[in-house]
Chain A
Amino acid sequence: MNKDFEIIDHTADVGIRAYGADLKDAFVNAARGLFSLITELDSVDEILQRNIEVDAPDEEILLVAWLNELIYLFDVENVLFKRFEINKLSDTHLEATAFGEKVDKTKHELKIGVKAATYHMTKIVKDDGYRVEVLLDI
């Protein structure tokens, strides 16, 4: 599989399926999938960075909480992220740095608003590498 992530069809909402050699990669690609829905990733420059820490009772909830933290930052600070580095990842804890810039309407086309990542259909599958799936509420 040569893809980092793909978008899954769902009647009302949109899903993301992300791949990675390890779980960190898959979490990074899920985050890129999320922001690719909001805007064209190529239009975003790396001007600022945010450090992010998330805790959760298990891996699946951690994945949802990670994406919801990014949605929160987009909503509150108007930041679009394009690159992510996950510095620490366990079943219950994640530390990451996200790189991007503030929304500039002359430069970024905002495509859709994402309300939240949901727990419905959340999946983390390990075969060759990792595959993660999340359904987003649009």
Chain B
Amino acid sequence: MAVPWKGVINKIDDYRWEIPQTYKQGMRVPGLIYASESMLRHIWEDEAYLQVANVAFLPGIVGYSLAMPDIHPGYGFPIGGVAATRLKDGVVSPGGVGFDINCGARLLRTNLTEEEVKPKIEQLTSALYINIPSGVGSEGKIRLNEKEMEKVLLKGAQWAVEKGYGEAGDIMVTEESGCMKRANPEKVSDRAKKRGAPQLGTLGSGNHFLEVEVVNEIYDREAAQVMGIMEEGQVLLMVHTGSRGFGHQVCDDYVRLMGEAVKRYGINLPDRQLACAPVNSPEGQDYLAGMACAANYAWANRQCITHWARECFIRVFNKGPRELGLEQVYDVAHNIAKIEEHTVNGQKITLCVHRKGATRAFPKGHPDVPAIYRNIGQPVLIPGDMGRYSFVAIGTETAMKESFGSTCHGAGRMESRTAAKRNVRGSDVLHELASRGITVKAASMSGLAEEASEAYKDVAEVVEVTHKAGISRKIAKVVPLGVVKG
């Protein structure tokens, strides 16, 4: 029987599918989707592949318009999309980063075991819920005046560490050392600063969370040990949040500005939300400077949250930080545009790599990988849904060769929020998770229903595809024990 996508999507191998450039007039490169055949069926049905084709319209795009296996329809760009554009004649698109600039994940290890944590998980989860503001409209404990705000935007996680939130060692294992250099606060509106000022050090709502988790399976013991992941049963902590209202406003301001730039530069696009400007134009440069401010805000945000999370562990277990071994494994951005060097058709070129719901996955030996990971590759953090599991992986040479050093970022939604709420109630989700030994504290019950496991793809399937395709290598699987949801 013929597959429904016959004539539109061609199979390259079991994990790679191509949308030929001829599919839609105006595509400058073909599309490439990493997926298994069963996942492709869903990508076909929810029409996410159309957005992969639309992204291929961007001027200066090279190689392929890429989609990771967690792809699902976004606004303009698909979520799980990667697009690299030439610096010299390509564009940068704020929609290719998204509203939650540098939404990302951070992982901390501990010396604690499941047996030690389980009896205190209620207490620990409550402490995290109380000490780290979460939910819609949550405000932080930090008050930033104009001058301090500017420092946050310029220095990112480094600002937080200087203020006593966390340790210098955290920065060494944060993407970009938690600070993008091209940040310029003058390129950010007062509205964004006003929106961001009360929200630093807050988790937010939607898919953001804090998760106390247990190592369930280790696939590469040697690499895992380099990350401080020693054995099954060890407890870890994951933080998933971004740049809050600050990033949303930066994106909104620039999508609007670029909407006008598109006309000025005569760029033809199939979707208004793909609005863009040449990387080297004043608009493009200003966006990158503003985006870097938002990325830095997000790194400062995760840094402050990390600090308060450590305080909770110290209080609940009545042990010092050394004894607890609360060290950061890594921190990665999932929504960002980066200026990077890649080899395309045998030539080294500088590109603007948009990762919208995708993770950088640099291989061992790459100069941007922190020294302690240079012999294994950059850690990749892939949170799943709250009821199942998450993964830790590392970047590979294959990613460098074919996906601009990128891989998947999570499970990927499968079901709409409204459908999820129709099918399940927040209180049912809570009971179901409790019956499986997972403690959950949530700011909103309806928010919890929207994040039910059933609404997501199986992240194990996603990670299996990226592993088999070779664009990242799985290292460990972790399962949730306690979750704080915004």
Q: Which residues of A contact B (CB under 8 A)?
A: 7, 9-14, 38, 57, 60-61, 65, 68, 71-72, 74-76, 78, 103, 109-113, 115-116, 118-122, 135, 137-138
Q: Min CB distance, A11 to chain B, in Å?
A: 5
A and B contact pairs by CB, cutoff 8 A, 27 listed:
A7-B418, A11-B413, A11-B414, A11-B415, A12-B72, A12-B416, A14-B416, A14-B417, A71-B248, A72-B195, A75-B195, A76-B245, A110-B136, A110-B137, A111-B136, A112-B205, A112-B206, A112-B446, A113-B206, A115-B99, A115-B206, A116-B99, A116-B252, A118-B75, A118-B99, A121-B75, A137-B98
Q: Is the Cβ of B75 less than 8 Å from the Cβ of A113?
A: no
Interface 1/0 per residue, B43-76 and A, CB below 8 Å: 0001010000000000000000000000011111
- Given A10-B416, A112-B450, A113-B137, 6 extra CB contacts under 8 A: A61-B259, A75-B199, A113-B206, A118-B75, A137-B98, A137-B248
In the complex, what distance in Å separates the CA atom of A101 from the CA atom of B417?
27
In the complex, what distance in Å separates the CA atom of A71 from the CA atom of B248?
10
Q: Which one of B135, B195, B199, B275 lies within 8 Å of A119 (CB-CB)?
A: B275
In the complex, what distance in Å separates the CA atom of A9 from the CA atom of B46?
12
List of B residues within 8 angstroms of A57 by Cβ: 259-260
Given known A10-B416, A122-B272, contact A75–B137 (CB-CB < 8 A): yes
Q: Is the Cβ of B444 less than 8 Å from the Cβ of A110?
A: yes
List of B residues within 8 angstroms of A38 by Cβ: 136
Q: Which one of B136, B251, B255 lies within 8 Å of A112 (CB-CB)?
A: B136
List of A residues within 8 angstroms of B415 by Cβ: 11
Interface of A is mostly: loop
List of A residues within 8 angstroms of B251 by Cβ: 116
Given known A11-B72, A118-B75, contact A111–B416 (CB-CB < 8 A): no
In the complex, what distance in Å separates the CA atom of A112 from the CA atom of B79?
20
User: Is B191 an interface position by the 8 A CB rule?
Assistant: yes
User: Is B249 an interface position by the 8 A CB rule?
Assistant: yes
Residue of B nearest to A121 (CB): B75
User: Is B419 an interface position by the 8 A CB rule?
Assistant: yes
In the complex, what distance in Å separates the CA atom of A60 from the CA atom of B260?
13
Q: Min CB distance, B220 to chain A, in Å?
A: 32
Q: Min CB distance, B34 to chain A, in Å?
A: 18
List of A residues within 8 angstroms of B98 by Cβ: 137
List of B residues within 8 angstroms of A65 by Cβ: 256
B252-280 interface with A by 8 A CB criterion = 252, 255-256, 259-260, 271-273, 275
In the complex, what distance in Å separates the CA atom of A137 from the CA atom of B100?
9
In the complex, what distance in Å separates the CA atom of A109 from the CA atom of B199?
19
Residue of A nearest to B253 (CB): A68
